[in-house]
Amino acid sequence: MPGVATGRKRVVVVGGGIAGVGAARTLVERVGDSVDVTIVTRDTYYAAGPSRPLILTGEQSVDRIMRGYEPLAHAGIKVVYGAVKRVDPGERRVYFTSPGGVERSLGYDYLILAPGVVYDGSGIEGYWEHMNLIVNVYELGRVQAFKHELWSIREGAVLVYAPKMPYRCAPAPSETTLLVDTVLRHRGVRGRVRVIHVDANEVPQPKPLAKVYKEMFEDRGIELITGREIVEVGNGYVRLSDGEKLEYTILAMLEPNRAPRFIEEAGLGERWVEVRSPTNLRHPKYDDVLAAGDAAKLPFPKNQEIAYESALYAANSIIEELGGEPVSVQYAFVGWVYVGNPEGRLETLSVQFGLDFTRQPPGARVEGEPKREYTLQKDRWEQSYLNRLYHTLPGL
């Protein structure tokens, strides 16, 4: 193995998203002579998530948010494609199935688990029979189907559902609802289509923006139901936890989130990967297993900034152990959420907010005035991540 032959430490990273690639790049940049880094990823490409809701309005296109992994080879990072099936922390080995169906494995000295989340609706009655009717803005195929349905509907009801926290990108369901309203207004059919937002949480998420969302829903005639879960999905209807039945023409439902099953099967956590603390992302039992991104059990919202910051903390643990200089990082950021356009123009406005988890209680601020410039800032921020992480390192 390369790690044995060269004396370098073998680092296997499960997941090719912002957290996985962020951790891999940080290791190569800081202690590249001491590590061999391999990313195991199921997909042969990465597609950013924050701006996917804008695919509904046509303001975003898949080609702008998609990147391949080929440049990482020039940066000294190996990428192998395959679906991870099993992790054996005692044996220090990751087992995965290659695209050709062959089971392979990799040994490691350090393992960084950043596989993201899976959407699990198995606890909802009728889910498996009717999952082909469900759309959302989280997955590329489903958001494209959602866009087609949204631009075709003439009457009926669009129902958007947010499960209980934590789930990936807390504002996305509310963003979806407001963009649905915008498209329907643009098409001139809003008066014939009900828009219903069902949120299993007591208020729309994240909490600092709840008041903004509730006021906008009321102003735009969007029906808001909170504190109730969808417990049954049928053909054209859902049933809530209090027994109420709601009919839908389009069902944009985010299923509850969890880490992939191989995490639980390896004894690394039940729903999420257990970590020692938000800044010490080693597993409580295994010093050589670390977690980052949405799959890590952190007391924060699951979003791109937190995913990246956690990746830096995970990388720092290895960097310090190998005698390198750690990177500066803290859990604090500025973000933007889409609020559509009340006039039905396909020029989405956004609200800016900030969260600072270095303080107790956490600091939060909201710039309540929707602006087009905030939408453009969010686009520049997303593109900067893609261009910084999915390209060749300078000088290589």
Which residues does 122 contact at the CB level (< 8 Å), separation at least 6? 128
Residues 340-389 have pLDDT tens digits of: 999 999 999 999 999 999 998 888 999 879 999 999 999 999 999 999 99
Token representation of residue 76: 């000294």
CA–CA distance, 288 with 297 (Å, rounded to integer): 17
CA–CA distance, 391 with 74 (Å, rounded to integer): 9
Sign of the CA dihedral with 52 first, then 54, 55, and 60 last = negative
Task: Please compute the mean of the pLDDT values over residues 100-127 and round it to a whole number.
Answer: 97
- 396, burial (CB in 10 Å: exposed 0-12, middle 13-18, buried 19+): exposed
* Structural domains for the chain: 6-117+259-329 (3.50.50.60), 120-257 (3.50.50.60)
Task: Write phi, then psi, for 38 (nearest 5 degrees).
Answer: -125, 125
pLDDT of residue 394: 46
Is residue 1 predicted with pLDDT exceeding 80? no
Residues 191-209 have pLDDT tens digits of: 999 999 999 999 999 999 9
Is residue 4 predicted with pLDDT exceeding 80? no
pLDDT of residue 15: 98
**Max CA separation in the chain (angstroms):** 69
CA–CA distance, 242 with 137 (Å, rounded to integer): 27
CA–CA distance, 389 with 392 (Å, rounded to integer): 8
What angle (nearest 5°) sits at the alpha carbon of residue 168, between those of residues 68 and 156? 100
Sign of the CA dihedral with 63 first, then 65, 68, and 73 last = positive
Query: What is the pLDDT confidence band of residue 324, given thresholds at 50, 70 and 90?
Result: very high
Residue 144, helix vs strand vs coil: helix
